[in-house]
Amino acid sequence: MGFKTHPNKKCEKAMLNSKQLPLYHKSYLLIKYFYRLVKNFPKHYKYTLGQSMIDLSWQCLDLVLAANVLPNKDKYYKILELSAVFDKLKLRIRMTQEIGLISSKQFAHLQVNYIAAIGEMIGGWLKWALNCRGG
């Protein structure tokens, strides 16, 4: 996750600069990819579904930043919110493939290079945060 673990305390982790977080970096790259992808959508989809994907990806990045600055015991609910927003984003990505806005190859690229990795990082961070709050 980009945190340094204290040898004796599983929840004492040094907060890294946000740009050092792998989740931040991967989310930022996803936003850049979406801007390149969405510009090729037909006009109607560019300003509806495409813009929704861009907006949700920005929300995810904003939530990563917000969660990172919270005290460890308070991160859980912010990361849970991040997970929910990311789930919405995944639905829109799937829709773009199902209605033919992106190819199967583009969809596979998104899944392999971004979605799976980001999902795993969010899940790991959420599990860590749950342990830190004693739940």
**What are the boundaries of each domain within the chain?**
18-132
Lookup: tokens for 77: 């609910």
Q: What is the pLDDT of residues 57-95, one digit of tens each?
A: 999 999 999 999 999 999 999 999 999 999 999 999 999
Lookup: tokens for 6: 């204290």
Among 48, 124, 47, 59, which residue's Cα sits nearest to residue 88?
59
Strands 13-14 and 4-5: antiparallel
Would you say residue 4 has pLDDT above 60?
A: no
pLDDT in the model for residue 135: 64
The strand pairing partners of 13, in sequence order, are 5
Would you say residue 7 has pLDDT above 70?
A: no
Which pTM value belongs to this model? 0.86
For domain 18-132, give the CATH number.
1.20.1440.60
Q: What is the pLDDT of residues 8-62, one digit of tens each?
A: 356 655 455 666 689 999 999 999 999 999 999 999 999 999 999 999 999 999 9
pLDDT in the model for residue 47: 97
> How far is residue 9's CA from residue 56's CA, in Å, rounded to a whole number?
34
